[in-house]
Structure formats: C-alpha cells, structure tokens
Amino acid sequence: MKTAALILLSFFCCCCFSQSNKRAKNIIIIYADDHSYHALGAMGNTVVKTPNLDKLAASGLLFTQTHVMGGHQGAICVPSRVMLLTGRYVNQLPGDGGNIPDSLVSLPEVLRSKGFTTYHTGKWHSDKASHHRMFSTGGDIFLGGMHFEKDGGQAHPTVYRFDSTGSYPASRKRNSDTFSTTLYANNAIQFLSSQTAKEKPFFCYVAFTSPHDPRTPPAAFEKIYDPATIPLPPNFMRRHPFDNGDLLVRDEQLLPTPRDPAATKKDIALYYGMVSEMDAQVGRILEALEKSGLRENTLIIFAGDNGLAVGQHGLLGKQNLYEHSIRVPMIIAGPGIPSNIKTNGFTYLSDIAPTVYAYLGIKAPASVEAKSFFAVLKDPSKNIRKNIYNVYGHWSRSIKTEDGFKLILYNVDGIMTTQLFDLKNDPWETKDLSKDERYVNRIASMRALLKKEMAVTHDNLNIDLPDWGRTEKQKSRGS
C-alpha cells in the first residue's frame, strides 16, 4: 500500500511539473543565521511559532534532511554562505571562504552575466571584491559575522549602503535605528516594489543575521515565550561528556558550564523569540512579492546557514557534528514546485546553486562540485545522495547513511573517541552504540565509507593515522 502511494505521488508530482511547464524568471534566496532544522513549526515543533514559514512550506517543498557540510573553524557561516552561492564543497574553499577567488564562479555572477539584476541586503562575511563581482545593486550591507553588542547589536546594526564601487570606506559606516531583520526586510521590500524588479529578471539575496546571538528580540517578541513553559530537549545535558575539540569556543561561553536548566530554558525562549521575529519579516517579504505581482514568477528559497545546539548535548553553538548543528531548514516554493510535500532525501546547502542553474536551464560553471536536486523538485520521492559526510575542524568527521546510522570520529589531543547513533530509533542522539559489540562490523563499514566520502570531497586527513586530529596549537578562532 505504501509503495503504491509513493508511485501515485511520484506520478502526480511529475505531471504537475510537466503540465504547467512554467518556470520562474526570478530567484529570491532568504538565508537565516543559526537557524536549526528543529526550530520550525512545519518540522513538528509545537512550541516555536513560525506561521509564515509554515505557510511557505505548505505552498512548496519542505526538505527535512538538508545539511551544511561543515567548516574548519568556528564561524561555520563563512563557508556555508560561500557554498550556497558557488556550489562548492567546503574542503576546496580557500581560507574556508573568507576570500572568494575569481576561479570560484558564483550563481549571482552567472545570472548577472545573463542580464539579471543581482541584489543583496544583509550579511556578507567574505571579501569585498567578490561581493562587487556578484551584485549589481543592493540595500544595507553588513560586513561581518555577527552584530556584537559593543557595535550596536541586533537593535542598532552597523551597516553600509550598497556601494557600486565596491570600496565601502569606513566613513560611510553607520548604526541603523531599525532592528537588523526588519532593516533587511525593508530593503528587500523596497527592491521588490521597484520598477527594476518588475521589468528585469532578478536574483535577490536576503541574508539575515538572525536568529544568531545576541538574542535580543524586539519588545513584541521578547516575552512571547515563557521560559518556565519551555521544555528542555530530550538530549539536554549539563555538560558534554568528553572534550569534542572546541568546548571553549566563543559560542560555548555564552552560558556557564555546567548548564543550568533554568538558564537554558531562558536561552531557548529568546532563541525562539528571534526565530518568530524573523518569521514575521519573511511574511512581510512574501507579502511584498504578492503585492508587486511577482510571486507567480519567482522561485523562493528559504534556508538556514547552519544549526545550533542551544543546550543540546551540553552545548550551545554549532561547532560540532550533531544533528542540531549540521541540519538546517530548507523550503522551496514557486512555479512548477509541488505544494505541501515533505522530502526526506539528503541534500547539502551547496546543492542549491546547481539546482537553480538546472531550473533556469543555464549551464553550471566548471567550478561547481555539488549535485543538482532538480529531479527532486519534479519528483519528491527521488534521492540524489545515499549518505551525508560532515566535517568540523581538524579533529572531527562524521558519516550518515540512508538506513539511519551515523558515525562520528574525534581525535582531540591524541584522544580518540567514536560515537555511533541509530537515528531512526534515537533521533536526538542520546544513546551511543559504539561500545556495543553487535556494531563492530557496522562501525568498520562506516569508517570505510567515510574515507571514500573524504576522498571525493578532497578531505586530506587520514583517519587511519594516529596523528590526525587537533593539537593545542589548532584550536579554532571562534564564531
């Protein structure tokens, strides 16, 4: 019965796509900062309020297994955003993507060469020269990783107006009186309401700095979640059970260790407040698309750059390889896209660029490494990957397979640690099976698979050698 239903769904989705044969001429990507996959109503979270994103998911395709491949230092958002725009894997990003060379041809560059208006507002965590190549216009631009409180925080973000010369002199920097997410949404709305957006195809990139800390949501969202009623996640721990290689990174020092349940609940409440505020701004952007008559001609992509622990496994940040930190929400909606359907196939954020190329019928540049999931847009029952490889730092690697098992390897200052989880029966990763003799062969086969994936993704660590991993001189620089 289940097989018959899948066949019927596949037939229905393929027919819908082919019969309409309509493709968007515009692309909008809305990118959240530190938004974990579980902080979304459409993903089954009954506490967090995300009505606009839930509505978007109902109008399109919700990807439940989208991942950031990882990074080699604490600021995972740097490689994440470059992987999104270039379709490149993390291990071949020079400096993790802080500087994007000309050889990595980006999606906005290609579309700009095809006559698209390429617009950006919000966060930019790479070099100015690559930004200048990619975007023909924009709104308020934040050059940095996060809105530190000393610089104005989320409430008074430090930004520049888009500079057509690409120079961004310090004399033009200012502190806005508008909350960061509202500011970037205002910019996007102004662009979507313009004649330029109506007359020419566009690529609009809205890069939020929320729900990243500082978790200071505006008054209307600050108290909508009562910490006393926030449930602790099933995998809450007072401290991580071993040194995972980055327990002293900036993110992990936002709360004292051991983690206090009450303080953790308060942090989750504020995190959800930031998510809900961002959701409201997404709603405003989507409403502007409708009012401008652009919704029917625009492919909408929403995703998070990386996840976040917020108390899970005794951690707070994203500098780890647990599900809460490597999985992100992703929703795609627009012409030709099936509506109100979830797809569970494995994808990376880097797969977005080749998919957009395929959707638009444009040849991808040779620098693209990732896989297009265009076939999934036509038939959500399809998968493009059988496993997912992840990397963090010089000392941890993981592999996850279609049957739900996940292996994580660590080598921290010469101490080897292995974790094995059965995600189908233990989605919160609470039961490490690595010491169970019944899984000896499983661990061996997954180690072999991990080595193959590392070779494919140009990961030059040799996990069979005792000297791979972190030494005291290789601690990451933070978030």
Half-sphere CA count of 100, side-chain side, radius 13 A: 30
Same domain, 322 and 199: yes
Q: 33 lies in a domain?
A: yes
Domain count, the chain: 2
Same domain, 420 and 379: no
pLDDT at 108: 98
Q: 73 lies in a domain?
A: yes
Last residue of a domain, one of 364, 385, 406: 385
Parts of the chain with a pLDDT under 50? 1-16, 18-20
Same domain, 111 and 78: yes
pLDDT at 135: 98
Q: 380 lies in a domain?
A: yes
Q: 352 lies in a domain?
A: yes
Pick the closest to residue 404 from 378, 374, 431 (CA basis): 431
The residues, ordered by sequence, that sit 6+ positions from 287 with a Cβ below 8 Å of its Cβ are none
Same domain, 381 and 418: no
pTM: 0.94
- CA quadruple 417, 421, 427, 431: dihedral sign: negative
pLDDT at 470: 84
pLDDT at 257: 97
Same domain, 355 and 415: no
Structural tokens at position 419 = 């974790």
Last residue of a domain, one of 385, 403, 421: 385
The DSSP annotation for 237-271 comes to -SS-SS--S-TTSGGGGSS-SSPPHHHHHHHHHHH
Range(s) of the domain holding residue 464? 390-474
Helix axes 180-192, 261-291, angle to 10 degrees: 10
Same domain, 338 and 363: yes
Same domain, 361 and 279: yes
Same domain, 339 and 225: yes
Same domain, 257 and 295: yes
Last residue of a domain, one of 334, 355, 385: 385
C-alpha span between 274 and 211 (Å, rounded): 5
Q: What is the dihedral of CA 97, 272, 218, 266, to 10 degrees?
A: -110
pLDDT at 4: 43
Same domain, 367 and 469: no
Same domain, 363 and 419: no
461: number of Cβ within 10 Å: 17
Q: 479 lies in a domain?
A: no
Same domain, 301 and 419: no
Q: 102 lies in a domain?
A: yes
The residues, ordered by sequence, that sit 6+ positions from 392 with a Cβ below 8 Å of its Cβ are 70, 71, 72, 76, 245, 246, 319, 320, 321
CATH number, position 193: 3.40.720.10
245-257 core/surface letters (b: 16 or more CB in 10 A; e: else): bbbebbbbeebee
The SS3 of residue 405 is strand
CATH number, position 409: 3.30.1120.10
Q: What is the largest CA-CA distance in the chain?
A: 66
